[in-house]
Amino acid sequence: MFKNYFKTALRSLRNNSTYSFINITGLAVSLAVSILLLLWVKDELSYDRFNVNAERLYKLAPKFDDQNIWNNTPAPTAVYAKNEVPEVEDACRIIDNWNVFIFEYKGKKFSEWHNGFVDASFFNIFTYPLIKGNPQKPFADAQSIVLSATTAKIFFGDEDPMGKVLVGDDKKNYRVSGVMKDMPANSTIHYNIIFNFQQLVQDYDAANIKSLNTNWDQYNFDTYVLLKPNASPALAAKKMGIVHRRNYNIEANKNLTYLFNPISKIHLYWIDGKGQGIMVVRIFFIIAVIVLMIACINYVNLITARAMKRGREISLRKIVGAGKPELFMQFISEALLTFLISLILATGIIYLLMPLYNNISEKNIVFKPWSTDVLSVYGITMLATVLLAGIYPAITLSSFKPLDAMKGKLSGIGSKGNFRKVLVVVQFSFSIILIASTIIIGNQLKFIREKNLGYDKQNVFGFWMRDINSHYNAVVEELMKQPGILGVTESGTNIISSGSGSSDIDWDGKRADQNSFTIIQMPIERNFLQVMGMQLIQGKGFTGSSADTANFILNETAIKVTGIQEPVIGKRLSFQGINGVIAGVVKDFHFQDMHQQIPPLLMQYDKKWRGRMYIRTTAKDASRAIAAVESLWKKYNADYTFEYQFLDSQFDELYKKDKNLGQLFNCFAIITILISCLGLFGLVTFTAESKVKEIGVRKVLGAGLPQIITLLSKDFLILVLIAAAIAIPVAWYGLSNFLQGYAYRTNLSWWVFGLSGVITLVIAMLTVSFKCVQAALANPIIALKNE
């Protein structure tokens, strides 16, 4: 019996090849797009959830006020949290290790940049299993290291890495005491070599008067805590704030508290709790659902659009003895067969697109058709197809009265078509929202690329100096002789992403009730502002005298936050024990990404804290300048590869994720709109077929082509207006929330939503124009000959 149903269904699909092609293609593409989107959503939501203790893991953030929340903590935070906060079971500090990235073994050199210092508790708190070594005691001594499995294979081949000694480019020996599984891609922590934090403590204590474990003023470390079962994170955070203030009771810390951020939220939420990341995830999930809905909507529209022809077929079946159950099963069989063919095609599309998809999204998603998640999507889609796209037409069409249907009079699915119009309004609404979103996202990315940063990033490349630092003046003198080099300077931090700061600041005129704040510090060379094209709006800055070491340059935001009154220049200011004066005010410039406001900045001249050299050249002389710098690099850093980056490339890298998300959104939006056009085609087909006799009568009475096209298409203008009334407020609300994730953002203009409506109308009219013209040109005699 079922075999006959499917044979009949296959014959029906073959006899109506155009409709079958539209149905199958639309559903297959919809399935493929939805699964790709849902795989991305699943990956984003899975970050750090592989940790066995994920529900009890928190990252600490010091909070000075609502606008001043730091992502990093002082080193003592973890020590005191474990010892003095009863709710804390264990704690761990983490910081990148940029001091060592070249390692030597048996005369061979290897480079590895993904390195970090961690406390020994790291492997107890997090779930990064050790293949070799003891997780309870991962480090034998301060110089011990743990390698990832891949890194160990690269360094030692088939040799057992345990106990092997690597010589770092800092001339120290590092003994391998453990090998861990490669950290998963959905981890916010990514290291291939892990160093013992105790080495950092020892090196710091040997070079400074103050111990690292008692230095509460250096906010450079990520601190994670594992709370005891059922412990209150809010209570633990309150106690941590009290501990911090008690051990470092300065004016700047009088309002200091702590935030305990769940590790499962770190990837998708900002440190202040703003959830732009989760909002994007929700948007992509909604698009996935919309695409599946549109696929089912299209199926219903196309099936019911063909009701006139199917009505006669069904009537004949009833006349020869077919009952409702048989007709019902026939339509369900057609829906299932359509879905199965679409499913096979969708699976092939996913396999074909997955490499490109991973490249754009910068992920390594593996598509497994037999996985629970994919099978769930297939199952839900099949259920929706059967329920919405199978049962509805089956019940309606199998209920026809045979004689009426033979005359073309269809009850139940009648001429009004209100249900189909509602579905198409939904499609129009989605189209307007997606088009508006595409325009706004594109405008925001363009706004970021073209915004004045406060400095000139064109034709400037930078690199970390290493041993050039000891010969800085000689190197600068030599480089300035090169014809393609316009300027040379340096900074202790990367101008694209400076984040090191301190709250140890005091100044003349500070009020007793003034809120504390933390200020970013940027050590620079005397000519840094000039070479980078920054604007000094007050003072002379650094003049080249010995007094420069006690002079400070503040940005405009710092002046506003401190409330320093005119005259600013010459006012006393102390910072981290250095008593000096304000020698200049620089116009605000962006030294962090634009998701956040420009924070207060203090620039100081400090020869001891040099790091990154910047070279300004011209477009035509860039290669010559790079060659000149590389020549000097080999002279002073012969053991290291010369690696540099242009500032504009670094800037683009900051927003690469935003750009990739924009590209993905645009692709899926276009696909969704194209799939929606199939629904419009279904409705106009239904309209044309239901009015075929009316069109014939009108043509006999003298109606021309324009009048017939107007008759068939006028309803679409009303549908677009209804859809616009629904979609524009929704789009405005959603896009406003999206842009809140950027401290610097483009404006929401009315023309964007007006243009979205116009584009949707144009797409609709282009979609229906072919069928309208075809119906208008049809021979009226054929339409009227049965009357």
Task: Indicate the pLDDT class of residue 263, thresholds 50, 70 and 90.
Answer: very high
The predicted structure's pLDDT at residue 236: 95
Task: Indicate the pLDDT class of residue 393, thresholds 50, 70 and 90.
Answer: low
Q: Is the pLDDT of residue 787 over 70?
A: no
Q: Is the pLDDT of residue 598 over 90?
A: no
The predicted structure's pLDDT at residue 415: 45
The predicted structure's pLDDT at residue 209: 73
What is d(CA 714, CA 706) in angstroms, rounded to the nearest whole number?
11
Tell me phi and psi for residue 320, to 5 degrees. -90, 5
Lookup: tokens for 35: 């699964």
How many folded domains does the chain comprise? 3
Half-sphere exposure of 154 (CA within 13 A, CB side): 14
Lookup: tokens for 541: 């800055």
Residue with tokens 């209150």: 232
Out of 66-75, 142-151, 311-320, 602-611, least confident range: 311-320
Sorted by sequence, the CB contacts under 8 Å of residue 438 that are 6+ apart come out as 665, 666, 669, 670
What is d(CA 578, CA 562) in angstroms, rounded to the nearest whole number?
18
For 86-140, how does the pLDDT look when each residue is reduced to its tens digit (9 = 90+)?
999 999 999 999 888 889 898 888 888 899 999 999 999 999 999 999 999 999 9
Sorted by sequence, the CB contacts under 8 Å of residue 486 that are 6+ apart come out as 616, 617, 618
In a domain, 150, yes or no: yes
Sorted by sequence, the CB contacts under 8 Å of residue 389 that are 6+ apart come out as 296, 299, 300, 303, 335, 338
DSSP code, position 408: T
What is d(CA 303, CA 335) in angstroms, rounded to the nearest whole number?
10
Quick count: other Cβ atoms within 10 Å of Cβ 200? 20
What is d(CA 23, CA 335) in angstroms, rounded to the nearest whole number?
10
Sorted by sequence, the CB contacts under 8 Å of residue 119 that are 6+ apart come out as 78, 91, 92, 93, 94, 197
Please tell me whether residues 227 and 92 are part of one structural domain.
Answer: yes
The predicted structure's pLDDT at residue 82: 94
In a domain, 741, yes or no: no
Task: Indicate the pLDDT class of residue 700, thresholds 50, 70 and 90.
Answer: low
To the nearest whole percent, how much of the chain has pLDDT over 90? 29
Please tell me whether residues 566 and 632 are part of one structural domain.
Answer: yes
Please tell me whether residues 213 and 326 are part of one structural domain.
Answer: no
In a domain, 65, yes or no: no
Sorted by sequence, the CB contacts under 8 Å of residue 1 that are 6+ apart come out as none
Please tell me whether residues 296 and 400 are part of one structural domain.
Answer: yes
**CB-neighbour burial class of residue 171 (10 A; exposed 0-12, middle 13-18, buried 19+):** exposed
Task: Indicate the pLDDT class of residue 201, thresholds 50, 70 and 90.
Answer: very high
In a domain, 307, yes or no: yes
Closest CA to 236 of 249, 220, 252, 223: 223
Region 677-706 average pLDDT: 66
- E strands present in 24-118: 57-65, 68-69, 88-96, 102-105, 108-111, 115-118
Q: Which of 62-71, 353-362, 447-456, 627-636 has the highest mean pLDDT?
A: 627-636
The predicted structure's pLDDT at residue 420: 66
Residue ending a domain, among 635, 654, 673, is 654
93 forms beta bridges with: 223
Rg (CA), the chain: 34
Tell me phi and psi for residue 11, to 5 degrees. -65, -40
DSSP code, position 23: H
DSSP string, 306-327: THHHHHHHHHHHHHTT--HHHH
Sorted by sequence, the CB contacts under 8 Å of residue 514 that are 6+ apart come out as 563
What is d(CA 322, CA 313) in angstroms, rounded to the nearest whole number?
11
Q: Is the pLDDT of residue 424 over 90?
A: no
Please tell me whether residues 491 and 570 are part of one structural domain.
Answer: yes
Sorted by sequence, the CB contacts under 8 Å of residue 429 that are 6+ apart come out as 723, 726, 727, 730
Tell me phi and psi for residue 114, to 5 degrees. -85, 80
What is d(CA 349, CA 430) in angstroms, rounded to the nearest whole number?
24
Task: Indicate the pLDDT class of residue 85, thresholds 50, 70 and 90.
Answer: very high
**CB-neighbour burial class of residue 452 (10 A; exposed 0-12, middle 13-18, buried 19+):** exposed
Q: Is the pLDDT of residue 413 over 50?
A: no
What is d(CA 360, CA 659) in angstroms, rounded to the nearest whole number?
9
Q: Is the pLDDT of residue 196 over 50?
A: yes
Contact 603, 520 (CB under 8 A): no
The predicted structure's pLDDT at residue 664: 79
In a domain, 693, yes or no: no
The predicted structure's pLDDT at residue 412: 46
For 628-681, how does the pLDDT look when each residue is reduced to its tens digit (9 = 90+)?
999 999 998 887 788 888 988 888 777 777 777 777 777 877 887 777 777 677
What is d(CA 256, CA 177) in angstroms, rounded to the nearest whole number?
39
Region 583-598 average pLDDT: 85
Please tell me whether residues 289 and 161 are part of one structural domain.
Answer: no
What is d(CA 501, CA 516) in angstroms, rounded to the nearest whole number?
13
Identify the three-state secondary structure at position 559. helix
What is d(CA 322, CA 314) in angstroms, rounded to the nearest whole number?
9
What is d(CA 640, CA 633) in angstroms, rounded to the nearest whole number?
9
Region 309-332 average pLDDT: 65
Lookup: tokens for 453: 């940063």
Please tell me whether residues 521 and 629 are part of one structural domain.
Answer: yes
Name the strand (E) or helix (H) holding 466: none
CA–CA distances in Å: residue 719 to residues 293, 422, 423, 460, 775 = 18, 9, 10, 54, 21
Please tell me whether residues 525 and 631 are part of one structural domain.
Answer: yes
Please tell me whether residues 474 and 375 are part of one structural domain.
Answer: no
Query: What is the distance, to the nearest Å, from the Cα of residue 292 to the centroid of all Cα atoms in its chain?
Result: 23
Residue with tokens 């453990």: 178
In a domain, 433, yes or no: no
Q: Which of 215-229, 268-282, 288-302, 702-716 has the highest mean pLDDT?
A: 215-229
For 162-171, how does the pLDDT look when each residue is reduced to its tens digit (9 = 90+)?
999 999 988 8
Residue ending a domain, among 654, 684, 703, is 654
Lookup: tokens for 122: 């790291």
CA–CA distances in Å: residue 29 to residues 294, 376, 682 = 11, 17, 17
Residue with tokens 């092609």: 21
Mean pLDDT of the chain: 82
Please tell me whether residues 186 and 294 are part of one structural domain.
Answer: no
Closest CA to 92 of 137, 124, 133, 61: 124
DSSP code, position 390: I
What is d(CA 70, CA 252) in angstroms, rounded to the nearest whole number?
14
What is d(CA 580, CA 605) in angstroms, rounded to the nearest whole number?
12
In a domain, 648, yes or no: yes
Q: Is the pLDDT of residue 610 over 90?
A: no
What is d(CA 316, CA 318) in angstroms, rounded to the nearest whole number?
5
Which carries the bigger pLDDT value, residue 409 or residue 291?
A: 291
Region 327-343 average pLDDT: 76
What is d(CA 677, CA 671) in angstroms, rounded to the nearest whole number?
10
What is d(CA 662, CA 782) in angstroms, rounded to the nearest whole number?
51
What residues make up the domain containing 138? 77-231
Please tell me whether residues 121 and 8 are part of one structural domain.
Answer: no
What is d(CA 74, CA 243) in angstroms, rounded to the nearest whole number?
13
Region 375-396 average pLDDT: 68
Region 399-427 average pLDDT: 60
In a domain, 649, yes or no: yes
Task: Indicate the pLDDT class of residue 401, thresholds 50, 70 and 90.
Answer: low
Lookup: tokens for 673: 């709109």
Region 573-601 average pLDDT: 86
What is d(CA 431, CA 425) in angstroms, rounded to the nearest whole number?
10
The predicted structure's pLDDT at residue 414: 43
What is d(CA 374, CA 36) in angstroms, rounded to the nearest whole number?
10
Residue ending a domain, among 607, 637, 654, is 654
For 457-502, how does the pLDDT look when each residue is reduced to its tens digit (9 = 90+)?
889 999 988 888 888 999 999 999 888 899 999 998 888 877 777 7
Please tell me whether residues 507 and 589 are part of one structural domain.
Answer: yes
DSSP code, position 565: P
